Amino acid sequence: MQPSPPQNEAAQRQAFALAVQLLGGLRPTARRLDCTERAIRYLLDGERPLHKGWLEDITTLLREHARLCTHVARGLDPLFMANLTAAQREERPDARRKGQRPLATSDGSDEAPLSPEEQERLMAQEALAYALRERA
């Protein structure tokens, strides 16, 4: 099997910015990485290199965050009767979805859901915009 090509530095920085956003922003991420917000900004801006150690640490935090999110989601999933209140167990239409209107997309409109590629592009743009706002 042939090794995969090296990661593009800009794409890696975008992924890092998205990770910072998913972990709650500059301050919470810096606190959990035991560093300053300025250090994170330098990494996001490209003023400092993203060493392998930074990638390992942020990956560890993301995995822990995903584990916690999965745990919470399992406790809320309506497919498990134990997660429902007595009122929710009664068979009746969901008031929020009355008329079978689809859920709104991330931009608040009622358009068709985005493709995975479009979602990824949108998330990367939002992460970059968020990182730039945090920097200002």
**105 located within any domain:** no
**93 located within any domain:** no
**61 located within any domain:** yes
- Structural domain tally of the chain? 1
Closest CA to 42 of 60, 54, 56: 54
pLDDT in tens, 124-135: 777 776 666 666
Give pTM, 2 decimals: 0.63
Tell me what pLDDT residue 97 has.
57
The rounded average pLDDT for each run of 10 residues, N- to C-terminus, in the chain (136 residues) is 82 95 96 96 95 96 94 88 84 59 53 65 70 63
Contacts of 40 (CB under 8 A, 6+ apart): 20, 26, 29, 30, 33
